Amino acid sequence: MTSGEPLLQVRDLVQEFTVRDRGGVKGGTVHAVSGVCFDVWPGETLGIVGETGSGKSTLARSIVQAPRPKSGAVLFRGADLVALRGSALLRARRHVQMVFQDPFGSLDPKWRVRDIVAEPLIAYRAGDRAARRRRVDQVLDLVGLDPSSHGGRHPRELSGGQAQRVAIARAVALSPALVICDEPVSSLDVLIQAQVLALFERLRAELGLSYLFIAHDLALVKQVSDRVAVMYLGKLCEVGPGEAVYRQPLHPYTRALLDSIPSPDPAAARAATIIGGEPPSPIHPPSGCRFRTRCPRAAERCAAEEPALRELAAGHSVACHFPLGETQR
């Protein structure tokens, strides 16, 4: 699975933006992403799971420099995207593409499918018109759409699943190395969701893609990922192989997430305690460990000192002063 250098190295990524006072809600600086570090290796799928306010979507956009993060480094094949500008950034970014949550929102309603998929080819001047047309047909076929009947349509003439396929086709048109998927199936019905996930897996195998797969559903993320990272209020809580995170969660928040997922198996009892409270505002994150306000294991140290991400088992790291012991599910 992995060899040599990581494909993507994110180091101490920080993204903040200011919101103004509005109504009775005070404004301030939103600490959306506060010092996130992780790697994505060639050929692997790293899943990032987080709820509202975790900063996962902001993280995705910061990686592609839209907008540029406040500080930190994003090394793609060794080149720091944060430091690049203009055409250098454009060239480096060619191999990192993105698929968004709202399939219709990410497609220009006035454009036809064929033109949408061809846009990256035109921007990067990949081949002449005939070559581009061939590539568009090839890629539409790859995602399960018929170039002759779907190519001339507008997004409003497509279903949700089809629109998302067009977005995926556009993303893989230039044969990128890394595709960042920001909640790509959350807007789709369950059966269509399964179709699109199967497409992701197939493309991964056929094109040798690496994915950064972001979603709020831990079960979904675990199903498609090799490694899973759990995010809370701008920080990573736990990173590790999917099975390890599921069977031996080290962070109390991961445990809470696992307990909250309703299982269709009636034999699986619902967890006795579910986590209470609400996520704090990212404008005023709690001092020290950000999860301490809802954590059943919080102690004085948690308020005073912010836990760093440390490796407790093979490839399995956690940022907690009092991680969970060996817990069998």
Tell me, residue by residue from 279 to 318, as one string, x for binding to another protein by CB under 8 A and - for no binding: x---------------------------------------
Does position 31 interact with another protein (CB under 8 A)? The reply is no
Does position 4 interact with another protein (CB under 8 A)? The reply is no
Q: Which 248-267 positions form the footprint of another protein (CB under 8 A)?
A: 256-266
Site stretch for another protein (CB under 8 A), options 87-95, 135-143, 285-293, 300-308: 87-95
Does position 188 interact with another protein (CB under 8 A)? The reply is yes
Query: Which three-class secondary structure state does DSSP give residue 200?
Result: helix
Does position 131 interact with another protein (CB under 8 A)? The reply is no
**Residue-wise burial string across 168-184, b where 16 or more C-beta atoms lie within 10 A, e elsewhere:** bbbbbbbebbbbbbbbb
- Whether 173 contacts 134, CB under 8 Å: no
Does position 278 interact with another protein (CB under 8 A)? The reply is yes
The residue within the footprint of another protein, chosen from 5, 19, 29, 52 (CB under 8 A), is 52
- Whether 323 contacts 251, CB under 8 Å: yes
What is the distance between the terminal CA atoms of the chain, rounded to a whole angstrom?
27
The residue within the footprint of another protein, chosen from 15, 34, 106, 248 (CB under 8 A), is 106
Residue 62 is encoded by which pair of tokens? 């910061």
- How many beta carbons lie within 10 A of that of residue 21, not counting itself? 9
Does position 21 interact with another protein (CB under 8 A)? The reply is no
Does position 274 interact with another protein (CB under 8 A)? The reply is yes
Residue 265 is encoded by which pair of tokens? 């198996």
Residue 88 Cβ vs another protein, minimum distance, rounded to whole Å: 13
Parallel/antiparallel/unpaired status of strands 310-313 and 8-19: unpaired
